[in-house]
Amino acid sequence: MRPDQLDLLTTVDAPTLTPDGGRLVIGTARPDFTTDGYTGQLWVMPTDGSAPARRLTQGYRDCGAQLSPDGTTVAFLRSPVPDSDSTASSSPQLALIPLDGGEGQTVTDRRLGVTGFAWSPDSRWITFSSPEPEPGRYGTVAGVGPGQEDPRLVTGPDHRLNGEGYTADKRPRLFEIEVPDAAGELVFAARGRMAEPESSQAVSPALPTARPLTGGERAATDPVYAADSRHVFFATTPEAGFGQSLRTAVAVVEARRDAAGTPRPPGSGPSADPDAGPVRLVAGGTEVRVGFGSPCISRNGEWLYLLGQDLGESGLEFVASNAAVYALPAAGAVREAITGWDRPVASLQPRLLTDPAATGFAGPLRPSGQDQVLALGASRGRTVLVRVSHQGHPEVVVDRQGEVTGACEAGGTLAVTSTSAASPGAVAIQHRDGGLQELFDPNAAWRADLPPAAGLEREYGGPGDPRGHRPDQPAVHGWVFLPDGPGPHPVILNIHGGPYAQYTWSWFDETQVLVAAGYAVVMCNPRGSDGYGAAHGAAVQGRMGTVDHQDIIAFLDGALEEFGPQGSGQLDARRIGIQGGSYGGYMTAWITAHDQRFTAAIVERGYLDPVSALGSSDIGWFFSEQYMGSDPERLRQQSPLHHVDRVRTPTLVIHSEEDLRCPIEHAQRYYRALWAQGVEAELLIFPGEDHELSRSGTPWHRRVRFEHLLRWWDRHLAAQVTEE
């Protein structure tokens, strides 16, 4: 594909099913150059494939659909068309639409939008999470813009997040609304004399009243109702104010009290709303090693499933600490939860159901059958769907060459969304015999004209290496992508971020653009990557730039040996580029300081100085020390900026102005050092973008980024063919 074809790529949300499993609703999204944003709507379709998908909504950006438990109504998030000249909020709001069709009805008007929501089992209520701005900030006072706001007093390290900015002044809280009658009379906001306070004939507000369930001292996200439709479990932070650790917890709040009321426990403090009960701790706490989140209630209401991550005594030991699935009785969680944030009562001990040393799981968890749960697990370049019971016994139910991105099970039907080498997003039905039937792929139309490049899976090193076992080199798993034609093709070694992440079988726009331009792409998952067990992921702790460097070069050498001049002749060993973003930018800068074989390099959003990152990065307060240690000299020795004087490779440095993960000063100092020592270098800066530019930046900037990548590689790799 070409950079100007980015707007063809359509991704899909997680599916949602009617209770009988007969119909499915899915959200789509694609880049739109016209509005320089992301547009998409909801689609509905029968799960037996008897009719094509039908567009259900007509909004600019509709996503995150969840069907009501009674199957009649779809709740979703709706965002307006981007408008840089408007003062109106562009944040997503909660909306409702009947499954059988009609007008979408927006039911919230939150200044900073809605981030997540859940239906009550009786379909009468919805609780949602929404950032609540401090008074005087984020436009809450007319005429007071960002430059006129009061100063922020920071008392701890955890106060900013890439893509969000400051966080402690807009913590997400939980609110609840009663679902309006979809067939009822429409109500509109009063105007003119009817809006005057003294008017006894003024109509009621157009939107349902959003009652607060939690206060603003702690973040509250990922809500889910208990079976009684009255208690709400949610994820939070046990520490108040600015965080000192990475600990998370699951708590419960009673959304609506009995008519007679219930005495408040001593020390519980005032409730967020007079009708709401106190927030009580279920799992996790300030004195608990394991942080819990992603609560999910089994369909029969008996089990509360959680994801838990062991963070050690300090609450910061996150490196290769895989999240595992846990469970505890839901009724006991409601009954025995207590106020206070140190630790739950002894009787509330979540049971560990999966092995964190082998596989890491990600949420959101989704109910399966009557008493089981579905979770997503990383495994050797795949993301698989696993079913887990409250007794354990994890069972892989979907494992394909790609990544499962979402799942929903109802009425005996299991629907999954996924990406693959052939498509950026599709939805399918998993049958009991193990077969996967594709139901809807919004990318099918263009794939006939733009067949994706397929990677060749390889494993170099280790006992299975056909070149012979090398005792000092364990197996490294990855892929080689070859352009059409006999070659020899210039080679680009691409390095993923993280480091605890993984390249997968899935469609990757960067690889497709490079291969279409005539470049072979080599990419692998070295030690430090996710998907190969906790020990593999922790192998780089305290020694970044050692075994990971060794594995990356070993995989490149293996690819050159098989496909280079002494092999099939498809790779040109004289023209090799290297590139990567974030940790991949770190490794690119590190490798070019220690290996002069590369023709050119691209260092993007690089984590280039772990020393300065301690105070400047949003995660610097824990990331550098956990990965590289606390000794100042060891930190310096693992810093690419410390070794930049060794670099001789022409380098394009790419960075975003609003990057809080790897602040732009990393790029500026690295570029200046290259320039000062006479290395050919360019610095490409994107205004208004953050660390996620290449994945979710504005469509125009993503397109321009690709154009600059190709320009740079054409100058240093492709142009050599013409010159020769």
pLDDT tens digits, one per residue of 3-21: 999 999 999 999 999 999 9
Quick check: 201 pLDDT over 60? no
β 476-481/520-525 pair status: antiparallel
Q: Which of 21-25, 33-37, 136-140, 372-376 has the lowest mean pLDDT?
A: 136-140
Confidence of residue 466 (pLDDT cuts 50, 70, 90): low
Read off φ and ψ for residue 328, nearest 5 degrees.
-155, 155
Q: Over the stretch 84-114, which tens digit does the pLDDT of each residue have?
A: 655 556 899 999 999 998 889 999 999 999 9
Q: Which of 39-48, 206-215, 328-337, 641-650 has the lowest mean pLDDT?
A: 206-215
Cβ partners under 8 Å of residue 346, min gap 6: none
Instruction: Tell me what pLDDT residue 186 has.
Output: 65
Distances (CA, A) of 242 to 156, 246, 658: 5, 11, 21
- Higher pLDDT: 184 or 210? It is 210
What is the reported pTM?
0.93
Mean pLDDT, residues 53-71: 97
Alpha-carbon 455 to chain mean position: 24
Q: Over the stretch 386-423, which tens digit does the pLDDT of each residue have?
A: 999 999 999 999 998 999 999 999 999 999 999 999 89
At 112, list the tokens.
């900073």
Q: Over the stretch 528-557, which tens digit does the pLDDT of each residue have?
A: 999 999 999 999 999 999 999 999 999 999
Is residue 425 within 8 A of residue 386, CB to CB? The reply is: no
Instruction: Tell me what pLDDT residue 448 has.
Output: 83
At 201, list the tokens.
């004939």
- The residues with which 166 forms a beta bridge, in sequence order, are 160
Confidence of residue 435 (pLDDT cuts 50, 70, 90): confident
Quick check: 355 pLDDT over 60? yes
In whole angstroms, what is the distance from residue 231 CA to residue 37 CA? Answer: 38
Nearest to 494 by CA among 587, 421, 401, 383: 587
Mean pLDDT, residues 72-87: 84
Q: Over the stretch 145-199, which tens digit does the pLDDT of each residue have?
A: 889 999 999 988 989 999 999 998 999 999 999 999 866 666 666 777 776 554 4
Instruction: Tell me what pLDDT residue 441 has.
Output: 95
In whole angstroms, what is the distance from residue 243 CA to residue 554 CA? Answer: 41
Confidence of residue 216 (pLDDT cuts 50, 70, 90): confident
Instruction: Tell me what pLDDT residue 258 has.
Output: 57
Instruction: Tell me what pLDDT residue 86 has.
Output: 56
Percentage, residues of the chain above pLDDT 90? 82
Element housing 45 (H / E): strand 42-46
Q: Which residue has the tokens 């008074």?
A: 135
On the CB side of 598, CA atoms within 13 Å amount to 25
Instruction: Tell me what pLDDT residue 720 has.
Output: 56
Confidence of residue 259 (pLDDT cuts 50, 70, 90): very low
The CA dihedral of 703, 706, 712, 717, to the nearest 10 degrees, is -140
Average pLDDT score over the chain: 92
Fill in the amino acid letter for 617: S
- By the 10 Å C-beta count (0-12 exposed, 13-18 middle, 19+ buried), 2 is classed as middle
Q: Which of 98-102, 269-273, 520-524 has the lowest mean pLDDT?
A: 269-273
Q: Over the stretch 23-46, which tens digit does the pLDDT of each residue have?
A: 999 999 999 999 999 999 999 999
In whole angstroms, what is the distance from residue 648 CA to residue 314 CA? Answer: 41
Neighbours of 630 (CB within 10 A): 10
Percentage, residues of the chain above pLDDT 70? 92
**What b/e string do you get for 31-50 counting C-beta neighbours within 10 Å, with b at 16 or more?**
bbeeeebbbbbbbbbebeee
